[in-house]
Amino acid sequence: MQAEANGKIIELSEAGWLNNLDEWSEDLAVEIGKNEKIPELSEEHWDIIRLAREYFQENGTVAEPRTFSKLMKKLYGKERSDQKYIYSLFPTGLIKCANKVAGLPRPKGCS
């Protein structure tokens, strides 16, 4: 699978995960989002993407959903922290969708 961003073809896995994490860009995130049935990334999407990337950079691993919800609650309040909210923005949730759009590695056990 491939995506095009900034005039460059980027290789993705068969499931749409970024093969080379260093190739991630916001433009690529938009293209991966389209592959994930997200026609446009809103500021709410970007809040989740940025937080997921920040967590990964600080911890070397993607956040577990429960941990991520706690971080979201601390930053954005209860109404923007539960799994229902995240699924409303990312159709297959944090692990399968938001992390993919954020250009993070595929978590173990995730298709």
How many H helices and E strands in the chain?
Answer: 6, 2
Looking at 5, 30, 71, 110, which residue is catalytic? 110
Spell out the long-range contacts of 73-78 with Cβ–Cβ below 8 A and sequence spacing 24 or more. 75/47, 75/51, 76/47
110 has catalytic annotation: yes
Q: Which residues are marked as active site?
A: 110
